[in-house]
Amino acid sequence: MNDGGSDASVASDGRAGPTYWLTRFVILRLLGIVYFAAYLSLATQVLPLIGAHGLLPAEQFLARIGARLGSTTGAMLVVPSVFWLGISDRTLVAASWTGVALSAVVALGFANAILMAVLWVLYLSFVHIGQDWYGYGWEIQLCETGFLAIFLCPLLDPRPFPRRPPPTPVIWLYRWLIVRIMLGAGLIKLRGDRCWRDLTCLYYHYETQPIPNPLSRALHFMPRWFHKAGALFNHVAELVAPWFAFGPRVARHVAGGGMLGLQVFLLVSGNLSFLNWLTIVPILACFDDGLLRRVLPRRLVAAAERAATTAAPSRAQRVAVAGLTAVVALLSIGPVTNLLSSRQRMNTSFDPLELVNTYGAFGSVGRKRPEIVFEGTSDAVPDESAAWREYEFSCKPGDPMRRPCVVAPYQPRLAWQLWFAAMSTPEEYPWTLHLVWKLLHNDPGTLSLLGPNPFPDAPPRFIRARLYRYAFAPPGDPSGAWWTRTFVREWLPPLSRDDPRLLRFLAAYGWSTDE
């Protein structure tokens, strides 16, 4: 490595050229943080969402797939998951907290191929049984990103700067990943919604995104030139910068900086789960040691230099990386074809292991914000004279006086799915009826996904759901409100625990009514 006076580093064999010791370190460290957030979100919500008594029980899901495909072996090939070997609430909890613990180790700077493989296998297994709660693009993006990381590490040595040098082809594969992520997001915008083409989408985005944060309101009320400039910058970062990910060093660094800047802005402007944190991981592959040594602590730079002087490439690792490169090249045919298609699909996997996927985000932007508000009453007659009390969610807009939360990279998954459900009907989101049943019984697991229980002493007699249109109240509103809301229509009628319509619906989906 050089002394910092030159843009190039010195490789361990003495030849001038970029090295990636520090690049590998920051990629793995950030990936560990993302894994930690993802597994923590899983561990704290897994039983209410997919446990035996969850809103969408995973055991029933696997049973349906097994019955449809005729054998467990065939089902495992189509939907790979370790949970085919056995699934119970205890297993789900143990596996998710194991992921939390192992990802914390990686976040602290210790990783090897075995550790990264365990994290990947476990998370892939959860994604494949997570159903609606794990149908987001960043789930398969984490699977692909995590799989590449297995080959970035030595097999056994977990030290932050091990004796084995970073395999340069894996760095290139991360650049190929960010190219697909950014181009996919940029092209789906141009093809999906006219407001991206006329630069007006950000007039609405900050207000209508799934879970706004406190800064979202201030951004929403910025001048229109600001929104148009933001949309233009988005296009430059997603449609222009990726082409330089494999370019000359200076161009590559500038492109990486542009893509990084977009992700940082998205981080502070909303609660998009761990998507933007995760997207930064392959962006880091655009930067080499010659740049990173100027911004990272001297002790890390010194440790990387010491490792480089004693580096010894492994023949087994070279063979494995060559095989990985060939597999990624072959599996890239589907995603590239999709990128070139006028019927581009967003966030789609082309293989059961989610190894090489196609991505995209906000292909369309809502102009208005519908929200479902669940209400309960203990009165005998569920009419407008009844005393209805609202259920609050910790991070979903509800009480107009409540400030939006800051929760990312953690993801409150029920709140996210209710954002989608508000744009549709109960028939499209049948678990909302199961949610009603749970609320009618003060189910502790389900209530753990919400805010304070408005019926702490006894469950309500009736639950209903109403659809409102929410909009940001202007900053400085004399009422102190963060939101204004207007009633639109009834989304679900009042339902009781003995309502025959509800009981028939639950039975049709195989959901127990013996709770």
Structure tokens at 325: 């490169």
pLDDT digits 0-9 by tens, 320-351? 999 999 999 999 999 999 999 999 999 999 99
One DSSP character per residue, 424-486 reads: S-TTT-THHHHHHHHHHTT-HHHHTTSSS-S-SSS--SEEEEEEEEEEEPPTT-TT--SEEEE
Distance CA 154, CA 164 (A): 6
The residues that bridge with 358 in the sheet, in sequence order, are 348
- Identify the pLDDT of residue 14: 44
Q: Contact, 484 vs 470, CB < 8 A?
A: yes
Owner of token pair 């009628």: 493
What Å distances lie between residue 9 and 287, 288, 314, CA to CA?
Answer: 12, 8, 21
Give the residue, 12 or 316, on which the prediction is more confident: 316
Q: Contact, 506 vs 426, CB < 8 A?
A: no
- The residue among 251, 247, 252, 199 whose CA lies nearest residue 227 is 199
- Identify the pLDDT of residue 313: 84
- The residue among 392, 369, 372 whose CA lies nearest residue 464 is 372
Alpha helix (H) residue ranges in 193-248: 194-197, 205-208, 214-220, 224-235
Q: Which amino acid is at 143?
A: C
Q: Which residue pairs from 265-270 have beta carbons closer than 8 angstroms and sit at least 24 positions apart in sequence? A: 265/230, 267/408, 268/213, 268/215, 269/206, 269/213, 269/215, 269/216, 269/219, 270/206, 270/209, 270/210, 270/211, 270/212, 270/213, 270/216, 270/408
Structure tokens at 187: 């092209």
Confidence of residue 459 (pLDDT cuts 50, 70, 90): very high
Q: Contact, 435 vs 446, CB < 8 A?
A: yes
Q: What is the mean pLDDT of residues 133-150?
A: 97
**The model's pTM:** 0.95
- Averaged confidence pLDDT in the chain: 94
Residue 1 pLDDT more than 70? Answer: no
What Å distances lie between residue 130 and 83, 84, 127, CA to CA?
Answer: 11, 13, 5
Distance CA 464, CA 448 (A): 19
Distance CA 233, CA 240 (A): 10
- Strand locations in 293-352, DSSP E? 348-349
Distance CA 484, CA 468 (A): 10
Owner of token pair 């998507």: 275
Q: What percent of the chain has pLDDT over 70?
A: 97
Spell out the domain ranges in the chain. 21-358, 369-508
- Identify the pLDDT of residue 105: 98
- Identify the pLDDT of residue 74: 86
Residues counted in the chain: 515
Task: Kindly provide the b/e burial profile for residues 73-91, where b requires at least 16 CB atoms within 10 angstroms of the residue's own CB.
Answer: eebbeebbbbbbeebebee
At residue 493's C-alpha, the angle toward residues 491 and 497, to 5°, is 125
- Identify the pLDDT of residue 181: 98
Q: What is the mean pLDDT of residues 387-413?
A: 96
Confidence of residue 11 (pLDDT cuts 50, 70, 90): very low
Distance CA 465, CA 234 (A): 37
Residue 80 pLDDT more than 80? Answer: yes
Q: What is the mean pLDDT of residues 9-23?
A: 67
Q: What is the mean pLDDT of residues 144-151?
A: 98
Confidence of residue 12 (pLDDT cuts 50, 70, 90): very low
The β-bridge relationship of strands 462-472 and 369-377 is antiparallel
Q: Which amino acid is at 294?
A: R
Confidence of residue 16 (pLDDT cuts 50, 70, 90): low
What is the radius of gyration, based on Cα positions, of the chain? 25
Distance CA 471, CA 328 (A): 45
The residues that bridge with 467 in the sheet, in sequence order, are 372, 489
Residue 186 pLDDT more than 60? Answer: yes
Structure tokens at 422: 């508000």
The residues that bridge with 349 in the sheet, in sequence order, are 357
Distance CA 117, CA 112 (A): 9
Q: What is the mean pLDDT of residues 304-319?
A: 91
- Identify the pLDDT of residue 515: 56
Q: What is the mean pLDDT of residues 61-68?
A: 93
Return the axis-axis angle of helices 137-152 and 21-43, rounded to nearest 10°.
Answer: 140
Residue 4 pLDDT more than 80? Answer: no
Distance CA 133, CA 418 (A): 11
Helix (H, G, I), strand (E, B) or coil at 162: coil
pLDDT digits 0-9 by tens, 255-273? 999 999 999 999 999 999 9
**508 Cβ neighbours under 8 A, 6+ residues apart:** none
In this predicted structure, which of 68-72, 117-121, 414-418 has the lowest mean pLDDT?
68-72
Residue 2 pLDDT more than 90? Answer: no
Q: Which amino acid is at 427?
A: E
pLDDT digits 0-9 by tens, 207-245? 999 999 999 999 999 999 999 999 999 999 999 999 999
Q: What is the mean pLDDT of residues 80-96?
A: 97
Residue 513 pLDDT more than 90? Answer: no
